[in-house]
């Protein structure tokens, strides 16, 4: 089973992720903000991190930058999800193994991106 960390501050979106990924060969851990997400990343090993970009306090893009600066987490695949357009975050692609999902998205799109990112991390 692949371990996924989802950092999402919206409780309805957390449920949406859980419903979509339930039974899909993933173990899902939820964090409700970037600080909680960073704490969980330091305590556990995850195969992938899915980040909401717009959150109170530390934003998802800031958490992503912190992960890429640390050699322990530099290669962890990341999916950034946001209501903002993908083109606003293309600059992050140079930092490696990252996808963007514009909200709203469906289960097929999410699973496709998860599979693509996990395949690129082998």
Nearest to 68 by CA among 80, 83, 56: 80
CB 7 within 8 A of CB 41: no
* Domain interval for residue 109: 2-114
pLDDT at residue 122 is higher than 70: no
Residue at 119 is within a domain: no
Q: Distance between CA 75 and CA 40 in Å, rounded?
A: 17
Residue with the bigger pLDDT between 112 and 59: it is 112
Residue at 39 is within a domain: yes
Residue at 9 is within a domain: yes
CB 61 within 8 A of CB 80: yes
**Number of domains within the chain:** 1
pLDDT at residue 91 is higher than 80: no
Q: Distance between CA 51 and CA 81 in Å, rounded?
A: 6
Average pLDDT rounded to a whole number, residues 26-43:
94
């Amino acid at each position: 089973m692949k371990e996924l960390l989802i950092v999402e501050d919206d409780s309805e979106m957390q449920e949406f992720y859980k419903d979509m990924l339930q039974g899909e060969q993933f173990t899902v851990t939820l964090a409700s903000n970037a600080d909680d997400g960073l704490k969980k990343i330091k305590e556990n090993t995850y195969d992938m991190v899915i980040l909401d970009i717009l959150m109170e306090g530390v934003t998802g893009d800031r958490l992503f930058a912190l992960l890429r600066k640390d050699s322990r987490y530099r290669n962890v695949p990341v999916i950034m999800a946001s209501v903002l357009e993908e083109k606003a975050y293309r600059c992050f692609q140079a930092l490696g193994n990252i996808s963007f999902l514009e909200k709203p998205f469906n289960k097929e799109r999410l699973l496709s991106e998860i599979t693509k990112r996990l395949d690129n991390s082998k």
